[in-house]
Amino acid sequence: MTAQYDALVAQANETIASRSARGIPRISVGISGCSVSVGAARTLQAIRDELARRHLTAEVEEVGCRGVCYAEPIVDVELPGGPRIAYGRISAERVPELIESVVVKQDARPDLALFVVGEQGYAGIPSEHEFDYFKLQTRYILANCGLINPIDLDQYVARGGFSALHKALTTMTPEQIIEEVKASGLTGRGGAAFPTGRKWESARASKDRPKYLIDNGEEGEPAIYKDRRIYEGDPFKVIEGVLINAFAIGADEGYIYIGGEHKIAIARVERALEIARQRGLVGKNILGTEFSFNIQVRVGGGSYAAGESSAMMSSIEGRRAMPRPKLVRSTERGVWAKPTCMNNVETHSNIPLIINRGAEWYSSIGTAKSKGTKVFAPSGHINRPGMIEVPMGMTLRTMVFDVCGGMIDGRPFKAAQPAGVSSAPIAANNLDVQMAIETLTSVGALLGSGGLVIFDDTVCMVDMNNYLVNFNELESCSRCTTCRVGTMRLTDILTRMCEGRGRPGDLEALAWLGPLMEQTTLCGLGQAAPVPAVGAMNIFREEFEAHINEKRCPAGFCEALTTVQRVPVGASR
């Protein structure tokens, strides 16, 4: 049973050694949704053109997002015998300078560099472990992202890839795998935070056939992008986690479901699956064992509602992505009315770690009830937006001011919006809250799937929540009357307030409508739709009342209202 795996590892090591023996520069360019938006594809082409113009030979490859999104486009250069150095903000126009200085003259250019990959710095450039953005991060899920070519199986295997699958197939029973996952304390990373091991246990207990498995990467919420970045940067890790899941629960067929707007993620996952099939890692008799499992990619239509489990199952069946009543658990009756186990992309990415390092190691990270690390997508008014991986329980203050470099222009922190459009905001008086499931609940917020938008004092919370409820109105599948009409009513109330037409009773209407929608809608969209606005109203009530009673926007943002005079940071109004 180990012969095929040993051959896989031997080929990977031989390929990597052969590349090193070529003795030519290696140039890696981060190509992902975030980097392409600021010109990384043009940077990549400019590098190839400049090397050709100068008749220089180098290995040029694409890698995924390293999470340092604020410094994109990022280009790594590794000269023969030298360190691998990451350079930031390398636009196409700066490529000739980079090639001339670093490749031709072999000048490390500390003024352009971000960090050195590895333990040691070089020429005044800090190592990645000394780099401010990475210092407090604990990167396990994102360990390969931005470092390896995401569709190069040899690079993944050379870094330990598929060793967990081999261990699971050759030394563990399905029941032992499930017990290990249960003991680890891993909870779902898609937002619901259901214990993963319990879900797998229930799925294995289902006897009906065929049994299905779904990897949920729809990710249609605003400001949440960690799942697509994992797909883009390390698709083989997700595939490995899916395969272990399938073996543990006895699944017959699997689907990786990706939002239709995530084009790079779709292309890389499809290519990774094609390679995995060719190398005996997906399909019949995986790694020479009796375990067989096929995985297909399903592309969503860009619907936020499709991320809800029953709606996604309807989409996979070829029907409109509409939630349905959950009369029984999906592990008993899911897609095509057969047993179905669904987990999030990040959840599956944790599985190889747990199998290789053990439940005891994994459960030592995090808090009492929130184990492991969590990938967040911080954005907004911070100096270092991007994608981070930190231990569960790190405080919001540490994330904002230490990891993400604090607020832009030193302006005051006003609020954070976790969990996309599903949570109440976190105000400044709760900056020291631990970012974990149980602690966020204590301040009325949710951890969610990893979104984290940071606002300074220039943001109007009425306007911001008008955007959130309008998004939910547009994304409602309209099956539930209270969701269809309720989201319209929420939008109407907040739009009027922003336009100076707020009236007495609006806040009471919000307070009444919120619980009604939470109690009478089928899925998480309708249940969560009023939560951010009602939460913001309770926390920032004076700001909401000013819009209604004084026709004034304290943040000075709503143009239709009387604005306040801007004052310097730190001064009193």
- Is the whole model's pTM more than 0.85, yes or no? yes
- Predicted pLDDT at 573: 34
Spell out, as residue ranges, where the chain has pLDDT lower than 50: 563-573
Q: Provide CATH code, domain 461-563.
A: 1.20.1440.230
Q: How far apart are CA 161 and CA 8, in angstroms?
A: 10
Q: Provide CATH code, domain 3-117.
A: 3.40.30.10
Query: Which CATH superfamily includes the segment(s) 174-362?
Result: NADH-ubiquinone oxidoreductase 51kDa subunit (3.40.50.11540)
The residue type of 382 is I
The number of C-alpha atoms within 13 Å of 119 and in the hemisphere containing its C-beta is: 0
- Predicted pLDDT at 325: 83
Among residues 197, 207, 206, the alpha carbon closest in space to that of 175 is found at 197
Contact 435, 378 (CB under 8 A): no
Q: How far apart are CA 510 and CA 502, in angstroms?
A: 12
Q: How far apart are CA 209 and CA 339, in angstroms?
A: 7
Among residues 267, 164, 251, 237, the alpha carbon closest in space to that of 199 is found at 251
Q: What is the number of other CB atoms lying within 10 angstroms of the CB of residue 167? A: 16
- Predicted pLDDT at 60: 98
Tally of residues, the chain: 573
Domain 373-456 has CATH 3.30.1360.10: no
Contact 556, 495 (CB under 8 A): no
Query: What are the residue boundaries of the structural domains of the chain, listed by start?
Result: 3-117, 174-362, 373-456, 461-563
Q: How far apart are CA 262 and CA 64, in angstroms?
A: 14
3-117 and 373-456 share one fold: no
Phi (first) and psi of residue 507, to 5 degrees:
-70, -35
- Predicted pLDDT at 312: 95
Q: What is the number of other CB atoms lying within 10 angstroms of the CB of residue 376? A: 26
Name the token pair of 344.
Answer: 């999030």
β-partners of residue 77 are: 27, 85
- Predicted pLDDT at 145: 98
Q: How far apart are CA 53 and CA 20, in angstroms?
A: 24
Q: What is the number of other CB atoms lying within 10 angstroms of the CB of residue 412? A: 12
Check whether the bond before 210 is cis (ω within 30° of 0): yes
Query: Each residue of 128-156: b (16+ CB within 10 Å) or e?
Result: beebebbeebbbbbbbbbbbbbbbbbbbb
- Predicted pLDDT at 1: 62
Write the DSSP assignment of 535-572 as a string of letters: HHHHHSHHHHHIIIII-EETTS--TTSEEPPP--TT--
Burial class (CB in 10 A: 0-12, 13-18, 19+), 42: middle
